[in-house]
């Protein structure tokens, strides 16, 4: 039976005993050169389609509102009718699948279909008027003018949208940067299917394959082999990848699971190609990449509109917190300067999203002659390096407040896995050596607080079990993320700070 549960496979992987780690593989010259190339900004197709639909609704509604003067009847009835017609028209337009990048790329065909949907809504309105509006509460000239003006605006808007989308397509702003895992005839058929599908939303960068024999040549369907799968991890750290397509037989379950355990640490969509399989599933079992059927193996935890919502949440909470807590931050800065010489702030390198290094800011809590920028030694109870002010602000987490500026800069989120110091150790092992799958926690931006912190895993992580439990909490958060979960964690954080004071020093 074909069965893959990527989340369960990785969680089991995390629970395995520590293994010796090899140094990060060196990229091939071709892969390194490709990684060094500048990347043009791209737009989420889902967000573009959503914004385009909202704009269409607003424009259509504005036409009806602008023509209210032609309707001598009840204004409230005009408002309700306008909103109803626009809503019904959007239902018809959506049923004809006219919202989406593929639809916006169409020319005349999308225009007449959109016009048909708009006209159908007014035909329905006309039927209702004939049946129920014997008193002429709705002006017939207003209805006709609304239909004609709205149709004109709709056509002009769709023509302009078509031009914008086609320009973005030519500029590559709607493409997903994609790599293929696998080689040989299967990969060749996959690449040719994507290239001949007639869609222009996939940017194939190259392929990675662990085989070094005749089954895996240096070039497949004009696409260069960039290295082994282990090198793909490093490649994805150095340049943005949106999508990984695994070209392997469906019956090779163990090979696919092994591949997922390696690739799951990356913040990318992972798809298993189904184009060469003789097995046939229902259409709902597939998604499509460039017209090619694939199985969804793993998704980026936060993408498209969810990424927009989380960005807005982060900025709103950060600005609000900075305003409300500014007196506390000013008082802390003064107390630090009065107690000891040296800077108010302490800057430390930590791993951020996709293992990118970030400078994380904190209030200085240690004596300047004993600072440990790399956190080689964890802070312990009654640590002589910590000042009196530092002991208080660490126990109350006031020392973390400058990270609100990291949030405003886009380096941190309010909620997410806590970023750890690069040299932090548990039982004399670096965290990423102590826990298999550790870097999977970097598939989202790190946060000021998180699921682990409100579940008792705040403070010292001096044992492998402690860091393993924290990583498991982080992975749970990543796999179950929602905006409501972020709100819940923010609400529970002050309570956890009070109940877990004994763990912070």
What is the tens place of the pLDDT at every residue in 133-163?
A: 555 666 778 888 899 999 999 999 999 999 9
Looking at 123, 152, 170, which one is the last position of a domain? 170
281 plus 359 within the same structural domain: no
What is the tens place of the pLDDT at every residue in 20-49?
A: 455 667 888 888 888 888 888 889 999 999
- Residue 436 in any domain: the answer is yes
266 plus 402 within the same structural domain: no
**What pLDDT, on the 0 to 100 scale, is given for residue 90?**
95
Please state the pTM of the whole predicted model.
Answer: 0.84
- Residue 67 in any domain: the answer is yes
Mean pLDDT of 45-74: 86
CA distance 405 to 387: 24
Residue range(s) defining the domain that contains residue 129: 45-170
pLDDT over 70 for what percent of the chain?
83
**What pLDDT, on the 0 to 100 scale, is given for residue 109?**
87
**What pLDDT, on the 0 to 100 scale, is given for residue 71?**
62
The more confident residue out of 129 and 449 is 449
Looking at 300, 320, 346, which one is the last position of a domain? 300
354 plus 310 within the same structural domain: yes
Lowest pLDDT segment from 167-181, 366-380, 417-431: 366-380
* Torsion sign over Cα 430, 431, 435, 439: negative
**What pLDDT, on the 0 to 100 scale, is given for residue 77?**
76
Phi, psi of 361 (to 5 degrees): -100, 140
Please say if the pLDDT value at position 9 is more than 70. Answer: no
**What pLDDT, on the 0 to 100 scale, is given for residue 255?**
76
The pLDDT mean for the chain works out to 83
Confidence of residue 194 (pLDDT cuts 50, 70, 90): confident
What is the tens place of the pLDDT at every residue in 109-122?
A: 899 999 999 999 99
CA distance 251 to 287: 19
203 plus 341 within the same structural domain: no
398 plus 263 within the same structural domain: no
Phi, psi of 223 (to 5 degrees): -100, 125
- Residue 145 in any domain: the answer is yes
Q: How would you class 153 by CB atoms within 10 Å of its CB: exposed for 0-12, middle for 13-18, buried for 19 or more?
A: middle
Looking at 170, 192, 213, which one is the last position of a domain? 170
243 plus 357 within the same structural domain: no
CA distance 251 to 254: 9
**What pLDDT, on the 0 to 100 scale, is given for residue 11?**
53
443 plus 491 within the same structural domain: yes
**What pLDDT, on the 0 to 100 scale, is given for residue 15?**
46
Please say if the pLDDT value at position 504 is more than 60. Answer: no
284 plus 313 within the same structural domain: no
Query: Do 478 and 437 touch, CB atoms closer than 8 A?
Result: no
137 plus 218 within the same structural domain: no
- Residue 180 in any domain: the answer is yes
Please say if the pLDDT value at position 400 is more than 60. Answer: yes
CATH code for the domain in which residue 264 is found:
3.40.50.720
CA distance 107 to 109: 6
160 plus 124 within the same structural domain: yes
Confidence of residue 166 (pLDDT cuts 50, 70, 90): very high
**What pLDDT, on the 0 to 100 scale, is given for residue 189?**
83
The more confident residue out of 307 and 289 is 307
- Residue 52 in any domain: the answer is yes
225 plus 109 within the same structural domain: no
**What pLDDT, on the 0 to 100 scale, is given for residue 388?**
87
- Residue 1 in any domain: the answer is no
226 plus 163 within the same structural domain: no
Structural domains counted in the chain: 3
**What pLDDT, on the 0 to 100 scale, is given for residue 244?**
93
Please say if the pLDDT value at position 327 is more than 90. Answer: yes
């Amino acid at each position: 039976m074909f069965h893959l549960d990527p989340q369960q496979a990785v969680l089991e992987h995390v629970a395995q005993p520590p293994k010796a780690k090899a140094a990060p593989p060196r990229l091939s010259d071709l892969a390194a050169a490709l990684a060094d190339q500048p990347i043009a900004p791209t737009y989420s197709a889902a967000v573009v389609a959503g914004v385009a639909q909202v704009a269409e609704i607003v424009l259509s509604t504005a036409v009806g509102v602008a023509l209210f003067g032609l309707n001598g009847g009840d204004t409230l009835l005009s408002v309700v009718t306008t909103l109803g017609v626009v809503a019904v028209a959007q239902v018809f337009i959506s049923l004809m699948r006219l919202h989406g990048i593929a639809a916006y790329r169409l020319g005349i065909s999308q225009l007449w279909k959109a016009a048909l949907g708009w006209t159908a809504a007014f035909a329905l309105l006309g039927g209702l008027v004939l049946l129920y509006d014997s008193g002429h509460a709705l002006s017939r000239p207003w209805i006709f003018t609304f239909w004609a003006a709205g149709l004109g605006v709709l056509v002009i808007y769709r023509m302009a949208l078509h031009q914008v989308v086609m320009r973005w397509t030519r500029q590559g702003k709607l493409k997903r940067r994609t790599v293929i895992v696998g080689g040989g005839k299967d990969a060749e058929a996959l690449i040719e299917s994507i290239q001949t599908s007639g869609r222009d939303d996939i940017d194939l960068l190259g392929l990675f394959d662990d085989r070094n024999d005749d089954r895996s040549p240096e070039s497949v369907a004009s696409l260069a082999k960039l290295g082994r799968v282990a090198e793909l991890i490093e490649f994805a750290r150095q340049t943005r990848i949106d999508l990984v397509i695994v070209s392997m037989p469906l019956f090779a379950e163990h090979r696919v699971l092994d591949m997922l355990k390696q690739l799951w640490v990356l913040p990318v969509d992972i798809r298993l190609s189904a184009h060469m399989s003789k097995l046939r599933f229902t259409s709902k079992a597939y998604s499509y990449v460039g017209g090619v059927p694939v199985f969804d193996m793993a998704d980026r935890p936060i993408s498209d509109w969810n990424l927009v919502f989380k960005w807005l949440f982060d900025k709103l909470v950060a600005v609000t917190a900075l305003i409300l807590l500014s007196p506390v931050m000013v008082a802390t800065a003064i107390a630090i300067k009065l107690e000891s010489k040296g800077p108010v702030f302490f800057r430390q390198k930590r791993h951020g999203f996709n293992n990118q290094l970030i400078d994380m800011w904190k209030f200085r809590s240690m004596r300047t002659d004993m600072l440990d920028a790399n956190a080689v030694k964890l802070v312990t109870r009654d640590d002589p390096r910590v000042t009196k002010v530092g002991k208080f602000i660490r126990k109350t987490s006031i020392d973390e407040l400058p990270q609100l500026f990291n949030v405003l800069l886009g380096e941190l989120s309010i909620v997410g896995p806590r970023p750890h110091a690069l040299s932090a150790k548990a039982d004399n092992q670096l965290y990423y050596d102590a826990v298999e799958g550790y870097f999977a926690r970097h598939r989202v931006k790190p946060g000021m607080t998180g699921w682990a912190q409100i579940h008792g895993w705040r403070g010292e992580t001096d044992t492998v079990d402690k860091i393993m439990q924290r990583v498991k909490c982080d992975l749970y958060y990543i796999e179950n993320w929602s905006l409501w979960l972020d709100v819940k964690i923010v609400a529970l954080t002050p309570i956890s700070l009070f109940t877990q004071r004994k763990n912070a020093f």
